[in-house]
Chain A
């Protein structure tokens, strides 16, 4: 007799743990074969609130962490992805990809991790500035993470697009709450397992599954989210988001291009603030100096 396969329970990823939705709700998206992909958690506003708490708390250790160390962790994500190629490919196929495109997407995803791993400790060097002010001050502008970021993953590119959304955010020291593709949630859920085993501290990336229409307004109005990143949203949806997010002047980043293809350090800068610091430089009075 054939062995009975163990089925996976799909859960959320919040604060490094895998809870079910506190609401007990679920939905059952259909796979390519017409069968349900599984019972997927339909996150509630309270799940979102918990994720923001986790992300805010994780920010305290993730943002000040050495950029070199963040780089190693992102590279480790790549290593873990590589080890699970087969699983990701299977799931992508279940979600409708051809074998060839599934394989390509996984490779693409792994390469993105390696690419952004390298930027962690380099974008600051490339884009920061020492500003030659006229007074006797040392003046420099550096990038700092904007803080807690809502990352709305693209609906179609379930793995590479998701990583293209998340990686530039965390490479820059932010923490995030990501809302996975609604119709293709499996890749995100498996990615959570990769992240959990990649030395990435709990809470840095939190992954929710569920209904966009229900959750987007909650993201937009949440006063403790500093920025919101999204792609492939309709113009009306973007306008609603922008309008609803003015309460705390959330930074809204709407990507026009396909994030799975976007290897670009300027994307990191979109969830960064520029901080300019001034400090006096003294002049000695010895040797006939002025003072």
Chain B
């Protein structure tokens, strides 16, 4: 018989050149591209190569002030007076324009953030467009969303978004704000500003009145300027728990409304009667999706002792099929770590995991020489008191523990200050619902993980933040009732 071949996949790169990236981007304020008043810019880098993609304006207080003034004027003017139906039509337009330019958006998202093109193409960009499309329809139906209320807009929303889902988070923030009649000043993360700026192009093309959406780029100080601006009525933040707490403190003496989508340390629980092969797929999807840069990542794996060995061998075997490397390659499963700093943080935790007695497993994979890379990593023999089982790593690092009984795993799973998400794998309905009802988490996935949909509210319990995004319930965060 013929000898076997390994049949490795040849490179299948997406054509980067169809993406138009300007040499330099200014702020998008009052419908116009506006340079920083300080004249300062910063570089945005492709984390897979370390090469510069573009120069981006670095916003200061004056830039933010101009943006808030524009947003206020738009709110007091045309936008505030517009009917819900007309507002909705603009949002529909944005959704359509995004669908038309989906491929370009996917490529830029991958270039700027390092995530695999498969994910930006199949998940981030379509979900972002769908979010606009779904939310648009609410604009003229708000009185049905909140019966016996007469909801009204809050005013100017200051929104700060993270680098892990740059376009999707912009959509999650902007779409509901517009549907409910607010105007927006949004700051994308400093490592991933490009798709939000491309979104500004679409917004300009859509004919949305000037000043309704303003995009100011910059780092933490720019964000602080938005949070502290006295004419901002609402702050919406997605990011780390420590920054979220800081924001909450900063605005404690104001009337500003706030929603926070913060960190997580989700439990992914495998019971002995689960469909193990699908559970393993869910484990992989739960922690290695987007290099583990996911606040709801299933970073704590709990396996019932009777199936522990089986789950681990199947998991390791699946990990060996994951392709790590060039994010633009259509076969890449795990792309580049978003920044040097984040890579250092992840490596610090990997080091700690080993020092604290965890058994580390990483499949051998050829990593590119330039750029930031971390292979998928699994720690077994982890204990509840290990740092890697307690703190959010925000990388492709999974901490596995075993358990014996359902009450034990419920108490272990809830034994964390976080409460964003959780996963349960179990074939028996009654047991599954025992777990889903007792886990303290805003999103619980039964026999699946990391599913997202514009109609499905997302947000956490406890220190994972408050408020919901998406679905009917996500509208409440932008309404006075």
Contact = CB atoms under 8 A, between A and B. Distances in A.
Do A and B come into direct contact in the complex, CB within 8 Å?
A: yes
B248 A135 contact: no
A226 B464 CA distance: 12
B260 interface: yes
Contacts of A243: 249, 252-253
Nearest to A247: B245
A32 interface: no
A131 interface: yes
Interface in A208-251: 226, 235-236, 239-240, 242-243, 246-249, 251
A266 B481 contact: yes
B245 A246 contact: yes
Contact of B147 (A126, A133, A226, A247): A126
8 contacts: A132-B455, A141-B473, A246-B249, A248-B463, A274-B459, A276-B456, A278-B446, A279-B446
Contact of A278 (B260, B448, B468, B472): B448
B473 A274 contact: yes
Tell me the interface secondary structure of chain A in the complex: mixed
Given A131-B471, A239-B253, A280 B447 contact: yes
A277 B436 contact: yes
Contact of B448 (A146, A226, A242, A280): A280
A275 interface: yes
A62 B280 CA distance: 36
Given A132-B455, A249-B244, 11 more contacts: A126-B147, A129-B471, A131-B455, A133-B453, A239-B252, A246-B249, A248-B417, A248-B463, A249-B241, A249-B262, A251-B466
A17 interface: no
A2 interface: no
B354 interface: no
Interface residues of B, number: 42
B252 A242 contact: yes
Contact of B445 (A131, A134, A278): A278
Contacts of B437: 64
B442 A273 contact: yes
A139 B459 contact: no
Contacts, number: 105
A246 B417 CA distance: 13
B119 to A, nearest CB: 16
Contact of A249 (B448, B459, B462): B462
Interface in A267-283: 273-280
Nearest to A265: B148
B451 A131 contact: no
Interface string B437-481: 100011111111001010111110111011010011100000001
B299 interface: no
B481 A276 contact: no
A266 B479 CA distance: 13
Q: Determine which residue in A246, A266, A274 has the highest number of CB atoms from chain B within 10 A of its CB, and name it.
A: A274
Interface in A73-106: none
B444 A275 contact: yes
B245 A141 contact: no
Count chain A CB atoms within 10 A of each CB in B146, B241, B451 and give the residue with the most.
B451
Contacts of B466: 249, 251
B359 to A, nearest CB: 32
B222 interface: no
Contacts of A261: none
